[in-house]
Amino acid sequence: MEAGLSLAPSRATDLAGMRGVLEQTNPTEEVEGLDRALLDQFGETLAAFDAMRQAEGAALEALLRGQIDEIEALTAEAVNAVKARAAQIGETLRRNLAKVMDNADGADPDRVAQELALIAVKSDVTEETDRLSAHVAAARALIDEGGAVGRRLDFLMQEFNREANTLCSKAQNTDVTRVGLALKAVIDQMREQVQNVE
């Protein structure tokens, strides 16, 4: 109670009885003023929106370029790890060759040659690292192109992921496997960002 007045809780009937709540009036005068104010500020609002989108796009581009650089560095690291494991690969191939040759008595020579070729292919990741390098170049070209490249980048992310998976499955070496897993992590992060590209 203040100044001799007591305030009771509002009821729906009190609100409905207030002037303008249930009455229909012609709001043309009020809307015309609002229309003018909105139209006067529309250009400024649109410019601010456009500036925000450009800033967001520039930040996204920088992030994607950084992730592409990281993929390129990891691909080079995979190539170096493969070179470093060359002796191990040679020993593994010799062991596998010996197993094939021990069981080759009476076997078809063509079949033996196929098995040997299959063993060699399973350990060679040159094709995967070459494709990863090609995908890096393609991703950079798409970003440089600008415009609506989101779908094409998304498709490229699938290709990156396919090569990283194959690299991991062929690794036969902890260093190459570690690089392959790091590649998969960066590719997944990049895929999330690509979803924001038109």
Tell me the pLDDT of the chain averaged across its residues. 82
Q: Mapping DSSP to helix (H, G, I), strand (E, B) and coil, where does residue 69 land?
A: helix
Nearest to 75 by CA among 124, 138, 132, 122: 132
CB 157 within 8 A of CB 67: no
Q: What pLDDT does 84 receive?
A: 78
Residue 169 contacts residue 160 (beta carbons within 8 Å): no
Q: How is residue 149 written in tokens? A: 């490249």
pTM: 0.67
What is residue 1's predicted lDDT score, i.e. its pLDDT? Answer: 44
pLDDT digits (tens, 9 = 90+) for 44-96: 888 888 888 888 888 999 999 999 999 999 999 998 888 877 777 677 777 77
Q: Output the six-digit token pair for 192.
A: 């999330």
CATH of 59-194, one of 1.10.357, 2.30.30, 3.40.50, 1.20.140: 1.20.140
For the stretch 48-60, pLDDT in tens is 888 888 888 889 9
How much of the chain exceeds pLDDT 70, in percent?
79
Q: For the CA atoms of the chain, what is the radius of gyration?
A: 33
Question: Residue 193 in contact with residue 157, Cβ under 8 Å?
Answer: no
